[in-house]
Structure 1
Amino acid sequence: MSTSKPDLAPPPTEDPEYAANLRRATLASSVGSALEYFDFALYGLSTALIFNVLFFPQDDPAMATVAAFATYGVGFLARPFGGLFFGTLGDRLGRKWVLVITILLMGGASTAIGLLPTYEAIGILAPIILVFLRLLQGFGAGAEQAGATVLMAEYAPVRRRGFFSALPFIGIQAGTLLAAVVFSLISLLPEDQLLAWGWRIPFLASFLLILVALFIRMRLKETPTFVELEKHEQIAEHPIREIFTRGLPGVIVGIGLRMAENGGSYMFNTLALTFFVSMVGADADRSLLTWGVTLGSLIGIFSVPLTGALSDRFGRRTVYRFGAVFLLCYSFPAWWLLSLGNYYLAIAVVAVGIGVGVNSMLGPQCAMLPELFGNRHRYLGVAMARELSAVLAGGLAGVLGAYLIAVSNGNWLLLAIYMATLATVTAASTFLVPETLRRDLTRIDDAVKVSRDEVGDDVSATTVTIRTVQW
């Protein structure tokens, strides 16, 4: 079978039907992204300030915080399995229906967290059920963002794919922003009311976002590239086997590209708050510091589509590499400034770290990850790259970071080295991929390939080496 197809002319942007579907795809992806990151940002903020108190014994508050972050990390452990399961369905059945299922699963679990009894009420069952709901949340989220990424890349006009693919990721900023604002507002409640019922309100409000996202996605049509795949009867019978043989180099490089973006995001969103409180003391004004996340998300509303558009002009790798190098240079001054315990410096550090450092990588990533994979296993490939990196970067950031704070008595240098390491991995990964700008997404071969894929589909994963493909 041929590994490539003639370029398919992009649908004309002046076609009213295509324009309407493009708008629906953008809105459907944006609302789903907003819900996912609203839930995850809210869970992260609650982990450091609420869940460690309400769902774990308080004999050792520091270890209760570590345990709370462990439940936070459990959600990341579930995401690769969700990505594997739903990514396979997305490559076999299409993008639309998988996105309908994942939004119901993810949002339903988040709503149920708002109804959960505390440790004081039901004892050890409270953290057990919390972990179970977190697993469900992560299982659904494991394919949600990958699906949104693939959906928009496959719908977008070729020459503006970076810009259009980045637009739904404004939903990430909006969801993070909404979580930070809501959490700041409920933090104004007296502590007894906050711990008694106030923290439940934003989780229960997830139900409204589910209804909106479901209404939009039910009206969405399947992507043009998947329709093309069906038309030529090229749908993969065994996408899992393909992704772990032919597609494995793309997954590995994709993981590397995500280490700084994903790990840096969660370090600034959650770990920075815990670290700052450890510096200032238990009487720290926690609601004030969350404005750093808020401002960072506001910057991201502009920086994500901007860097996506810049990648259409200068290339994906160039813009991505800039973000990784910026975060590398920023790591040490950032954590040193946080260690000073000054509220306004901390707000600025978090805002710049999220808005510029992290989002300068997120913008080009929106188009770059789908462009790395062929049409037959694109959904699964993006899901695996995103979610395995989420475990290695984002999931470990909270647990390892909280542990480093506890055992080092708040040594900022260890956290700076950790973030700089993530940034170095990502910067190096940008040299392992070809430039994917304007790649034809109807092609079924990957941009990064198995060195011996000429011999057939049964290439052993143990013999995989990475090489770039020029075209």
Structure 2
Amino acid sequence: MQYTQQGDQAASPSRSGIRRAFFASLTGTALEWYDFAVYSAAAALVFGDLFFPSEDPLTGTLLAFSTYAVGYVSRPLGGFVFGRLGDVIGRKKVLIATLVLIGVATFAIGLLPAYGTAGVAAPIALVVLRFAQGVGVGGEWGGAVLLSSEFGDPRRRGFYASAAQIGPPAGNLLANGVLAALGALLTEHQFLSWGWRVAFLLSGVLVAFGLWIRAKLEETPVFKAMEAEQTRPEAPIREVFTTQPRALCAAILCRVGPDVLYAMFTVFVLTYATDRLGMSRGSALTAVLVGSSLQIFLIPLAGALSDRINRRLLYGCSAIAAGVWPFAFFLLIDGGSWPLLVFGVIMGLVIHSFMYGPQAAFIAEQFSPRLRYTGSSLAYTLAGLIGGAIAPLLFTALLSSYDSWVPLALYIAVAAAVTLTGLALGRNSDLAQKEDALLATAQEAEAVTPVR
């Protein structure tokens, strides 16, 4: 890897290296989230009928969302295993492993027989593969954030770290786009019998592309510096829990609100629009597609903005908006207007973008470089258990119990309050000087090896 020297500043990777890392972080995470999102959409639209048949459609949907939650429950295992490895053996090797794991699991889901063919073995196999998906995603996020941010200028961490944050809406856009296209081209019977499988089988091609991109990258300069200084942790999980409990708590809590809001406006809104408002599957998917497409531009914008103003302030103001908007949203769509549904979903995802854009940098800044992969991964995965994992289940259960949208909006407001608590516990951190020193060490280590 070639380094450039800027005056007396510490060495940093070349611009081409930074661009490659940014693109690898974005595309790899987008491909993994395509796999994860296509399952989420299928759980809302078809899995209830195919794998959990019931006379009550709402019960089937509830069971399908239970498998959706399994993908979150298994994430901490991925965070523990891959987070530790990321701080011990390196970012690149772990990110290749997570991509392979989730890609194989998603492809296999596309081959599963339905309940009518295999009986109870079908939903059991579905849960096992969903568990594997979650393990892969649990180890992916922390590494993808570091892949781009540790190659880039730490003073622009908000922007560079947002590469991994673009992955979920990009993957969600691709997944829902594929499902929408299949729904438009196929009849209802064709889509339910075999059409939905195409979206899962496509992951094989997409993951191969992601592996090709990541295999061409070298290890991050920060990790190289830790190798050169021999400061890699031997027991990073134990160190995070014993030396940085406040940082871990802050990083976990700050994620809850965005996770719950995202579950509403990309997953549960599909069920609500089709079952409660009587809209078609295509209309509901289109609303999510429009909102997700805007997020691809808004998330890096929000990340860059957080480099110029106080990161916590931007995040906190957006969390307040997240607690208020659902009350207006449900009032807007009560009459079943599709344009108002699109507008409401867009606004919900705009608010989410201005929390999600600064989020990766804020979480990474809570931990020192030598514990950053472990700390970020643990925060991401543990937050998923109390945020995104149970959100669709609670939305469904609350709607079934109270037959009203008010408890749904109150739930999101509480989740936003939890995020504000996490932000209050966190710190405004400037680790740029420390990372400049690490990069200087990386340059010295690079000097004794051939330049590639």
Would you say same fold, with TM above 0.5?
Answer: yes
**1:137 matched to 2:133:** yes
The residue that corresponds to 1:387 in the other structure is 381
Following superposition, the deviation at residue 441 of structure 1 comes to 5.6
Matched residue type, 2:291: G
Following superposition, the deviation at residue 240 of structure 1 comes to 1.4
The residue that corresponds to 1:450 in the other structure is none
Deviates more, 1:54-63 or 1:372-381: 54-63
Following superposition, the deviation at residue 437 of structure 1 comes to 4.5
CA contact (8 A) 2:246 2:425 kept: no
Change (3 A) 1:428 1:167: same
Distance of 1:336 and 1:307 partners within structure 2: 28
The residue that corresponds to 1:177 in the other structure is 173
1:180-228 residue CA offsets vs partner (Å, 9 max, x unmatched): 2111111222110001111011110011111111111111111111111
Q: Secondary structure at the match of 2:74?
A: helix
The residue that corresponds to 2:442 in the other structure is none
1:88-140 residue CA offsets vs partner (Å, 9 max, x unmatched): 10011010000000000011101111111000000000100000000000011
The residue that corresponds to 2:281 in the other structure is 286
The residue that corresponds to 1:95 in the other structure is 91
CA contact (8 A) 2:113 2:122 kept: yes
Matched residue type, 1:312: D
Q: Secondary structure at the match of 1:187?
A: helix
Q: Secondary structure at the match of 1:117?
A: coil
Q: Matches of residues 233-252 of structure 1 in structure 2 within 5 Å? A: 233-252=230-249
Change (3 A) 1:10 1:350: farther
Distance of 2:347 and 2:110 partners within structure 1: 31
CA contact (8 A) 1:103 1:144 kept: yes
- Aligned pair partner of 2:419 in 408, 414, 426: 426
Matched residue type, 1:328: G
Matched residue type, 1:172: P
With structure 1 as the length reference, what TM-score do the two structures score? 0.88
Q: Matches of residues 306-317 of structure 1 in structure 2 within 5 Å? A: 306-317=301-312
Matched residue type, 1:118: A
Deviates more, 1:182-191 or 1:110-119: 182-191
Matched residue type, 2:239: E
Distance of 1:9 and 1:258 partners within structure 2: 34
- Aligned pair partner of 1:435 in 424, 428, 436: 428
**1:64 matched to 2:60:** yes
CA contact (8 A) 1:43 1:72 kept: yes
RMSD value, Cα: 1.7
The residue that corresponds to 1:464 in the other structure is none
**1:361 matched to 2:355:** yes
Q: Secondary structure at the match of 2:353?
A: helix
Unaligned 5+ segments in structure 1 are 1-7, 445-471
Q: Secondary structure at the match of 1:116?
A: coil
The residue that corresponds to 2:443 in the other structure is none
Following superposition, the deviation at residue 19 of structure 1 comes to 2.1
CA contact (8 A) 2:18 2:152 kept: yes
Following superposition, the deviation at residue 244 of structure 1 comes to 1.3
The residue that corresponds to 2:297 in the other structure is 302
Change (3 A) 1:67 1:96: same
Q: Secondary structure at the match of 2:102?
A: helix
Following superposition, the deviation at residue 299 of structure 1 comes to 1.4
Q: Matches of residues 13-52 of structure 1 in structure 2 within 5 Å? A: 18-52=14-48
What count of residue pairs does the alignment treat as equivalent? 429
The residue that corresponds to 1:211 in the other structure is 208
Query: Which 4+ stretches in 1 moved above 6 angstroms?
Result: none
CA contact (8 A) 1:75 1:137 kept: yes
Change (3 A) 1:232 1:115: same
CA contact (8 A) 1:259 1:422 kept: yes
Matched residue type, 1:11: A
Distance of 1:153 and 1:258 partners within structure 2: 19
1:58-109 residue CA offsets vs partner (Å, 9 max, x unmatched): 2332211110000000010000111110001001101000000000001110
The residue that corresponds to 1:53 in the other structure is 49
Matched residue type, 2:424: F
The residue that corresponds to 1:325 in the other structure is 320
Deviates more, 1:159-168 or 1:193-202: 159-168
